[in-house]
Amino acid sequence: MKSVSRNQIVGVRSSSDFLNKFDELCGRLGYNRSEVIRYCLKRFLNEHWNNPENFQKVRKDMF
């Protein structure tokens, strides 16, 4: 039996201010929310996945 590849929905809560800025960013880039967030996450993973020092830096930046 073949495995089925399907789209998954990922949701996050955010403030109206964040959404307004994010929508403005998407508009300026000319891409929709999904495309922009996929790009950002892919870029983040590519830059940080195999670098423990980068993960530590991000951890400190977040909290």
DSSP 24-54: HHHHHHT--HHHHHHHHHHHHHHHHTT-HHH
Q: Is the pTM of this model over 0.75?
A: no
Give SS3 for 3: coil
With beta carbons less than 8 A apart as the criterion, state whether 45 and 55 touch: no
Query: Residue 43: what residue type?
Result: R
* Residue pLDDT, tens place only, 16-54: 999 999 999 999 999 999 999 999 999 999 988 888 898
The CA distance from 32 to 62, in Å, is 25
Question: What is the gyration radius of the CA atoms in the chain, in angstroms?
Answer: 15
